[in-house]
Structure 1
Amino acid sequence: MTRRGLPATLAAAGAAVLAACSGRRDDRLATEEHEVVAPSGAFTAIVVADGEELRPTIRDTSGEPVWTDDLPHVERYFPGVVWESGADVLWVLSTDHGDSSVRQDGAGAWARTMGGDGMPEDIAELAR
């Protein structure tokens, strides 16, 4: 390899590494077309279109919604919707409403907590 070809080779290798990292990151995020399974395998998260609004939604294994976001999101500020890696805790990353986590309470109902307290670092990186 010549000295002239080295920068192009390094640039291509760097782009490949960045693409691989962002691809893994994208696989964790739920969208309208991409449902993401919770760590337990008992639930999935997806973003459901509701007219002009988007609603992050948690479904059980039969596909029935068990929680639907009551805060409206819009396409312009598409929310990040991602499960924690080791627990069935869904994070909704929103520039419209702020970040929040959704988890089951003691009775098994899904409840939202507004704010980023306790947000794992890997999810905080997605929020940046």
Structure 2
Amino acid sequence: MKRLVKAGAALAGLAVVVLAVVIAVAVATAPGPDPAVLVEGESRTSSSGQYTSEFFSEDSDGQHLVYPVIKDAAGAVVWSDDERYLQSAHPVGVVWQEDADVLWLLSSDIGNSRVVQVDGEWTKDWDQATPPPDIARIDEGR
């Protein structure tokens, strides 16, 4: 009888170890957010290196809202989004296009848009063509 109890305890211990390993592997290999997508408190640099994007934030009616901005190399804000996003409910993915200074705003709530320079001014464009492959890949993975 002692031998059966010891064998059962050993098997239970082994099962716990195996379960812990399976959970650790699942967590380590789970897809996370794309590192190109802007995270609050960080900045991302455009492909030319001349611009950065970051989130500014404001609190309104007890909610923490964010909005993306573009800064030039001197740190001056050259564009600020007029939309405010509640990231906990309707997050916006903010990502620079790999091969051009084009900032994409990916939102399942209000739709995707891009921010481009037109005649030296940054403009938000809602009627853009199909996103390039790097942006489409990120949008599909969100």
TM-score range, shorter chain: 0.7 to 0.9
Residue 11 (structure 2) aligns with: none
Root-mean-square deviation (CA, aligned residues, Å) is: 2.4
Q: What is the CA–CA distance in structure 2 between the aligned matches of 1:124 and 1:116, rounded to whole Å?
A: 13
The runs of 5 or more residues in structure 1 that have no matched partner are none
1:109, distance to aligned residue in structure 2 (A):
0.3
* 8 Å contact from structure 2 (residues 65, 86) kept in 1: yes
Pair 1:15–1:50, CA change in 2 (3 A): closer
Give the secondary structure class of the aligned counterpart of 2:111.
Answer: coil
Report how many residues are paired: 116
1:122, distance to aligned residue in structure 2 (A):
2.4
Superposition TM-score, scaled by structure 1 size: 0.76
Residue 50 (structure 1) aligns with: 58
Q: What is the CA–CA distance in structure 2 between the aligned matches of 1:40 and 1:122, rounded to whole Å?
A: 16
1:68, distance to aligned residue in structure 2 (A):
0.7
Residue 65 (structure 1) aligns with: 77
Give the secondary structure class of the aligned counterpart of 1:125.
Answer: helix
Residue 43 (structure 2) aligns with: 35
Give the secondary structure class of the aligned counterpart of 2:137.
Answer: helix
* 8 Å contact from structure 2 (residues 98, 134) kept in 1: no
Superposition TM-score, scaled by structure 2 size: 0.70
2:107 is equivalent to residue 94 of structure 1: yes
Give the secondary structure class of the aligned counterpart of 2:40.
Answer: coil
Q: What is the CA–CA distance in structure 2 between the aligned matches of 1:115 and 1:77, rounded to whole Å?
A: 21
Larger radius of gyration: 2
Which amino acid letter does the alignment assign opposite residue 33 of structure 1?
A: G
81-90 vs 42-51, which moves further: 42-51
Q: What is the CA–CA distance in structure 2 between the aligned matches of 1:115 and 1:49, rounded to whole Å?
A: 26
Q: What is the CA–CA distance in structure 2 between the aligned matches of 1:38 and 1:81, rounded to whole Å?
A: 12
